Amino acid sequence: MAISKLFLSLVLVFLVLITTLEEANGAISGKTRKLIDMANKKGPYLGLVIPNLFEMNPLLQHPSYKPGDLTIDYAGRRFRFGHIDNQPVVLVMTGLAMLNAGITTQLLLALFNVKGVVHYGIAGNANPSLNIGDVAIPQYCAHTALWNWQRYGDGAENELPLEVNGDYTRDIGYLKISEYNVNVTNCNSHNNLLNNIWYQPEEVFPVFGTPEERQHISWVPVDPRYYAIAKKLEGLKLEGCLNATTCLSHPPKATRVHRGTSASIYLDNAAYRSFIYNKFDVSPVEMESAANVPYIIIRALSDMAGGGTSESNEASTFITLAATNSVEVTVQFIKQLSSKKYQDA
């Protein structure tokens, strides 16, 4: 009897190990597959893709969010199902930076019946006409950390390596590092070993089309219908105070802007902030937006990237307020999206 119990225990341990290995290696266990099938019968969902827990928690605690009875854990991600207004939603946290954002968003789209994606959270601000606490909703977004770093001695007139093959381009523009030298004397302004950084478009492959037929794209538009709906949010009242003694100097607002950027770079440098604003006309600067279905980006500005004035280095102070404002705008966007007017459109 004891041997039988020991044998049974070993079998159970073996099964648990096999299941764990399957999940770790990306294979979907039978139990998880059944849960996914169950979830998809209740879709389609609006996917909410959220960088970190401090940005997710205000939504989990928001009175408009009604959690469902289903949660699915897969590949290190937790997919939470619920409703906002009458809209079925699935929430997932990416973790930091673009690689995590891309993998997580792809898992969301591959596993579940998702009709659109909302990326929300906080961001740095590059736009001097916006303020901490404002929520920026860009019309276009680009990934601005794909570079061709030019060798010392070459300039704007020199062809980049592999440019002739279509791998790289000088069309987007470059950052000339020597223009930002300080505290130097008798120095040729072009004499900087770091030279030039040329911005590059993303290389993409069509979802519907010839496999391995690459295309290039720089500024990716958000969904035009989502962006039009976002205009309804521009008069929304947002939180302006952390407590009775710590308030923003300007009432925060939700606003649509021209462009935003994502890159696996935490930007805390005023010179680079000014450069990308003047070069690309960007407002929110963040690290985790990626989608290939109808999508929108909603980002509350937690700091002036590189420091501001009386509210400088603001991220640690206003991060909670910014996260709360991003959630409020997201909830109100979903309510607009779920209204009969837009359901019938």
pLDDT of residue 335: 96
Please state the separation of Cα 72 from the chain's center in Å.
22
Strand partners, 122: 300
**Those residues with Cβ within 8 angstroms of residue 290's Cβ, 6 or more apart along the chain or in another chain:** 98, 101, 102, 105, 119, 143, 262
Please state the separation of Cα 94 from the chain's center in Å.
9
- As a whole number of angstroms, the distance between CA 55 and CA 95 comes to 11
3-class state of residue 231 by DSSP: helix
- Residues 181-221 have pLDDT tens digits of 888 777 655 678 999 999 999 988 877 888 888 889 999 99
pLDDT of residue 18: 42
What's the whole-model pTM score? 0.88
pLDDT under 50: residue ranges of the chain: 6-21, 310-311, 344-345
pLDDT of residue 12: 43
pLDDT of residue 23: 53
Closest CA to 255 of 278, 231, 277: 231
Compute the C-alpha angle 191/182/159, nearest 5°: 35
Total number of residues shown for the chain = 345
pLDDT of residue 209: 82
pLDDT of residue 342: 57
Closest CA to 83 of 293, 335, 345: 335
- As a whole number of angstroms, the distance between CA 327 and CA 55 comes to 8
**In which residue are the tokens 């979907």 written?**
28
Asked if 79 contacts 104 with a C-beta cutoff of 8 angstroms, the reply is: no
Strand partners, 176: 196
Strands 114-125 and 295-304: parallel
